[in-house]
Structure 1
Amino acid sequence: MNSTAFSRYRAEWFDGAGNARRDILAGMVGTFALIPEVIAFSFVAGVDPEVGLFASFIIGIVIAFAGGRPAMISGAAGSVALVAAALVHAHGLPYLLAATLLAGVFQIIFGLLKLDILMRFVSRSVRTGFVNALAILIFSAQVPQMLGVTWHTYAMIAGGLAIIYLLPRLTTAIPSPLICILVLTAISIAFPMPIHVVSDLGRLPASLPSLTPPAVPFAWQTLQIVAPFALAMAAVGLLESMMTATVVDDLTETNSSKARECTGLGLANVAAGLFGGIAGCGMIGQTVGNVRYGGRGRLSTLVAGVFLLLVMVPLRPWIAQVPVAALVAIMIMVSVSTFSWGSIRDLAKHPKVSGIVMAATVIVTVLTHDLSAGVAAGVLLSGVFFAFKVTRLMKVEAAYDPATETRIYTVSGQIFFASAEIFSDQFDLRETPERVRIDLTASHLWDITAVKALEEVVTKMRRHGIQVEVTGLNQASAILVDRLAPTVGTTVA
């Protein structure tokens, strides 16, 4: 690590005493927001809550040092749990731990190969849809905690929201969500009432995590079982983490190393698997909350992980009494602040295509409860619209030069698999004289489909006794044609 990189890394940890205080407090609040979601997704994955909580502690510690996005909180939750559920139900927890280790290895490889570049194919409309869908999912996840309860729960939630939104008008020294947790917990202890507390969500850890290698046979058959699940877990985890990192980049107006985040997440998941935890990824709700509370550095990520273990083991009796209503109030605030309300207004101003892509991302994500499925649908739809747009920009204009008795076809635009057929249809052999020149100066051939389309056009004309000259290819296109269709014969521009 050179001096510049070291200085930047150091600044990501300790950039002023004030920032350190905000990072510590924001990380503590992030821990409380982390607990209910990790427990909920542990049930989804079919494992005990302590498995998810231990994994979140390990992932938080490792990612704080090895990750590429400061202030980002990662844990054992998200779509990774949905993938893991099928493996647990079919083969049990040991195979899930083995899949977690292998998923981490895959993610390290992805990072080293810098496959994070694929994020460039995710448009802003997809990212906006991702954020809006996440806000909806965060809110909907709180609904079960508000059904079949007494009026005391609603009163506590209302009181929590009042503290969260009104306290900052008086002071911002301490994050209002942390005050919300302390005040509502004190009220519930002083005045016992029929409300749910954290201990009702599931069994909490009673001891420290220990090194627990997966107890599975070291055989080819084991690899055949876990590899497909590990690859899916790695891909889904990276997708959610990359999207989360991009959202934080936008919120903080800073850049991050996506390749390093891939590698860091892989190391974190390998560590989680070795300590008996399940795979995790970036948690956008908790991360956005951390940033909203003032977290900006790696210290907030570290505190979120360390404080999770601290509150889960030594302070377990006290944390067990925290009202779920306090956590619901915090997550409602995160949901409201996460949703991009301006995107609704922009629907009237932005191109309809962008609105359709955003809406599709939201709808698919909400219906499937799978953020990766929504992003995949949005990216696919964006690609389809892009292909249609590019094909409309490709034109072939014909003109006749009586002096040389030559018909000149001037091609402009991009020729690739989506526009190759349209390109071929522009040449009418019935009205073509004995001499033809195809001018490709203003065009570019991108793939084998485009080259073969050009070759077929030239071959047909020559079969009809027409002299064909292909001119104006740029160097990259000419190299492609010479390698794949040398009989065409070209003149480079």
Structure 2
Amino acid sequence: MLDTVKKDWFFNVKGDLLAGLVVALALIPEAIAFSIIAGLDPKVGLYASFSMAVIIAFTGGRPGMISAATGAMALLMVTLVKDHGLEYLLAATVLTGVIQIAAGYLKLGSLMRFVSRSVVTGFVNALAILIFMAQLPELTNVTWHVYAMTAAGLGIIYLFPYLPVVGKLLPSPLVCIVSLTIISILLGLDIKTVGDMGQLPDTLPIFLWPDVPLNLETLMIILPYSLGLAAVGLLESLMTATIVDELTDTESDKNRECKGQGLANIGAGLMGGMAGCAMIGQSIINIKSGGRSRLSCLSAGVFLLVMVVFLGDWLKQIPMAALVAVMIMVSIGTFSWD
């Protein structure tokens, strides 16, 4: 029992904690952006990301994989939010989780072994391109300072690991974010920051049962959305798990991952968050930053909540250029160049 706990949680404590911090910092603008896409308050995406990261750390089948609010899921819920509001979305999120748990017990995750290598490669490369394209709005119609900061960030990310002694102590994406934030503050640069993305919440999430009628009419409204969210969430999560398996040369339990995603979505819905799934970009950041065990995912969720609620004034000053540099690194590292 103790050997299993150590293997899943504590064999890489320093690397997992530092990686979790990097992931948490990179999650903030994405969670806000996905909330805006779905027509929701930024706190809905942030609460979802915290809840999913913490719950999946205990229940998921792939250690080191990050789950949170995602763009693919946000796009599916736009119409539901517009027509029926947040409460129906929370109910749909809970139902999504129930459907995913059922899929886990039906062992649908085992079907992933029939997916060919070429399909996985296509999925990976498409996501890498989409991650890069998502950064272009931050690099369009901006001052030269943004390009200089982004270039400097990429330089730090790729060159810092080669420095003697210190290069191995800290993950270079974290050094990039901290360094560029300090430079931006000291020089008083007029560039876009995390604070410009939206209002950060200043309170902890609370348990919240969806305020909807528990009848057949409500079920008929949310069921089509929940089925779509469950299917897309499981596909993206299982494909991401396969990619992380290859990156770390380890195996994951796909059926347990289905159940874990379901429990995480139920938790998110009951904590006032939107539905989510595994994130390829954040998972790559975690692996590249040294995260390997469940502790990295748990720490990402805890760091995210603590920073957003208690350190919001500092977080707002992080330049988006620093996070763009990190995501470009993710895009390059994700693409299957061979």
Shorter-normalised TM-score: what interval?
over 0.9
Match of 1:183 in 2: 179
Match of 1:302 in 2: 298
Which portions of structure 1, spanning 4 or more consecutive aligned residues, are displaced by more than 3 angstroms?
none
CA shift, 1:102, in A, is 0.3
**One-letter amino acid of the structure 1 residue matched with residue 239 of structure 2:** M
Matches within 5 A, 1:211-250: 211-250=207-246
Matches within 5 A, 1:87-126: 87-126=80-119
**Cα offsets for 1:155-202 (capped at 9, x unmatched):** 111111111111100012100111111111111111111100001011
Match of 1:143 in 2: 136
State the percentage of identical aligned residues.
60
CA shift, 1:9, in A, is 4.1
Match of 2:254 in 1: 258
CA distance in 1, matches of 2:286, 2:189: 30
**One-letter amino acid of the structure 1 residue matched with residue 283 of structure 2:** T
CA distance in 2, matches of 1:261, 1:284: 15
**One-letter amino acid of the structure 1 residue matched with residue 127 of structure 2:** L
CA distance in 2, matches of 1:271, 1:225: 21
2:3 paired with 1:7: yes
Q: Is the helix fraction higher in 1 or 2?
A: 2
Larger Rg: 1
Q: Is the strand fraction higher in 1 or 2?
A: 1
Q: Which runs of 5+ in 2 are unaligned?
A: none
TM-score by length of 2: 0.97
CA shift, 1:7, in A, is 3.1
Match of 1:37 in 2: 30
**One-letter amino acid of the structure 2 residue matched with residue 39 of structure 1:** I
Match of 1:199 in 2: 195
CA distance in 2, matches of 1:298, 1:25: 13
2:319 paired with 1:326: no
**Cα offsets for 1:12-46 (capped at 9, x unmatched):** 1011xxx2100110111111221222222111111
Q: Which runs of 5+ in 1 are unaligned?
A: 343-493
Match of 1:314 among 310, 313, 325: 310
CA shift, 1:208, in A, is 0.5
CA shift, 1:288, in A, is 1.0
Matches within 5 A, 1:263-412: 263-342=259-338
The structure, 1 or 2, with the larger RCO (C-alpha pairs under 8 Å, 6+ apart) is 2
TM-score by length of 1: 0.67
**One-letter amino acid of the structure 2 residue matched with residue 298 of structure 1:** R
| Structure 2 SS opposite 1:166 | helix
CA distance in 2, matches of 1:13, 1:323: 32
Match of 1:407 in 2: none
**One-letter amino acid of the structure 2 residue matched with residue 232 of structure 1:** G
Match of 2:20 among 16, 23, 27: 27
CA distance in 2, matches of 1:106, 1:252: 29
Match of 1:56 among 42, 49, 53: 49
CA distance in 2, matches of 1:21, 1:9: 16
**One-letter amino acid of the structure 1 residue matched with residue 263 of structure 2:** L
CA shift, 1:292, in A, is 1.1
| Structure 2 SS opposite 1:214 | coil
CA distance in 1, matches of 2:27, 2:308: 12
**One-letter amino acid of the structure 2 residue matched with residue 197 of structure 1:** T
Match of 1:66 in 2: 59
CA distance in 2, matches of 1:144, 1:237: 26
Match of 2:205 among 181, 203, 209: 209
CA distance in 2, matches of 1:316, 1:202: 11
Q: Count matched residues.
A: 335
CA distance in 2, matches of 1:7, 1:227: 42
Q: CA-atom RMSD, angstroms?
A: 1.0
